Amino acid sequence: MFNQDFIQVNEDNLNYQDSGFMNVLANLTRTGIFMYSRTTPDGGIETIKQLRLPEEVEASMETLTGVPVTNTHPEELVSVENASEYVVGMTSERPKMVKLEDDATHDYVQQKLTIFDQDTIDQVQTGAKRELSLGYTLDLEEKSGEWNGEQYDCIQRNIRYNHLSLVNKGRAGELCRIQLDGKDINLDGVSTDEVLSNNQSIGDDMKVINIDGTEYDEAKVKSLLAMVGTKSDELAKLKANLDEVSAKLDAVEEKSKADQTAKSVAKDEADFRDAVRSRVVLEKTASKILGEEVALDAMTEREIKEKVIASASEVALDGKSDEYVAVRYDLVVEDAVKTVVEPTTMGASAMVKTENKDSRAVLKAAKENALKRLLEGAK
């Protein structure tokens, strides 16, 4: 059987050699009773209490001298075949049994270790890794009893340390451990059938877990999972509602865009019709002044107006604005209409005969346009 125990490194116990190697003084383990969970033959989960007797711990101390230190637990026992891959330091000096002021019940094993790998030293200095974890083999005697007023189910015998690892974080409580029996592993109260390193997660095979000294059995775990499932269902409903609202908003936005497009098209069509009507009136009026033989269809509106202006005046239009040209054009049209409607050489009867609706309409429009443009130009 294989166990791993976690120990907190005290920053006050760090010092350095001239070579830069880091020395760490730590309490590595203790005597007493520890709780584990394991799988029963029928697939259930049971909790067992293992006793580590003072005499067994004291006998194991000789195997702590010169134990290799690794950065994170390897998934195998450290040996000469893999030492170069894992070892970043060694335990040094002889371990000793000590009593702690805040725990008179148990005996603790204290020992110094030396770390000579720079990356590992940096992790300890920055606080990235401050936990130590012992890895060791043992025999488990299935014998129950009572020790210091507390019941136990079995006894750890023949403890033999294999390595000491620097890890990210051990569990709360006095000791947490990985216990190996064949292919079955007990990791901090969690049972699984795969070998896990210190940095691996447990997965879906979790049955019982001990978190910060609180043990959650299978029923509690299922309850927590059910709660998570309920919250997941609620989130799914909220997402569905959100999707529905989002779809409605998209539909409103699409309709709004369609309405805007329709309005834009209608406005374009109205502007086009107005432009056609304006062009027809312009060509019709200009033809009456210039003569039907003058081709106007290839000319722009300004060119037509300039030609009309040129027929009645020699004013230079280069550099003049479109508004100026438009006003001068309207004045020429107004004079031309007056000539047709009110000729000076005709009497009143002749004037009445030559007058027609088209002339009056053109005259009125010309006056209005001329007045409008003059006013706009004065602003």
CA-to-CA distance for 364 and 370, rounded, in angstroms? 10
| Alpha-carbon 218 to chain mean position | 34
Q: Whole-model pTM?
A: 0.44
Q: What is the average pLDDT score of the chain?
A: 75
**First and final CA of the chain: distance in angstroms?**
102
Q: Residue 145: pLDDT above 60?
A: yes
Given a cut of 70, whether residue 243 has pLDDT beyond it is yes
Name the residue with higher pLDDT: 29 or 120.
120
The band of 185, judged by pLDDT with boundaries at 50, 70 and 90, is very low
Q: Which run of H or of E encompasses 44?
A: none
Q: Can you tell me whether residue 270 is helix, strand or coil?
A: helix
Sign of CA dihedral 86, 89, 92, 98: negative
| 216-235 pLDDT per residue, tens | 555 666 666 677 777 778 88
Say whether 193 sits in a helix, a strand or coil: coil
Cα separation, 254 vs 211, in Å, equals 54
> Do the beta carbons of residue 188 and residue 200 sit within 8 Å?
no
Lowest mean pLDDT among 81-85, 153-157, 187-191: 187-191
What tokens were used for 47?
């909790």
Report how far residue 265's alpha carbon sits from residue 161's, in angstroms, rounded to the nearest whole number. Answer: 87
Per-range mean pLDDT, top range of 165-179, 206-220, 312-326: 312-326
Q: Which carries the bigger pLDDT value, residue 35 or residue 181? A: 35
Q: What is the pLDDT of residues 46-83, one digit of tens each?
A: 788 889 999 999 999 999 999 999 998 888 889 999 99
Please name the residues in contact with 311: beta carbons below 8 A apart, sequence gap of 6 or more: 289, 290, 332
Please check the confidence at residue 28 and state whether its pLDDT lies above 60: yes
DSSP class of 62: G
Q: Which two tokens stand for residue 44?
A: 């259930």
95 or 336, higher pLDDT = 95
Torsion-angle region of residue 213: left (phi > 0), alpha (psi -120 to 50) or beta?
left
Do 69 and 166 meet the contact criterion of CB atoms below 8 Å apart?
yes
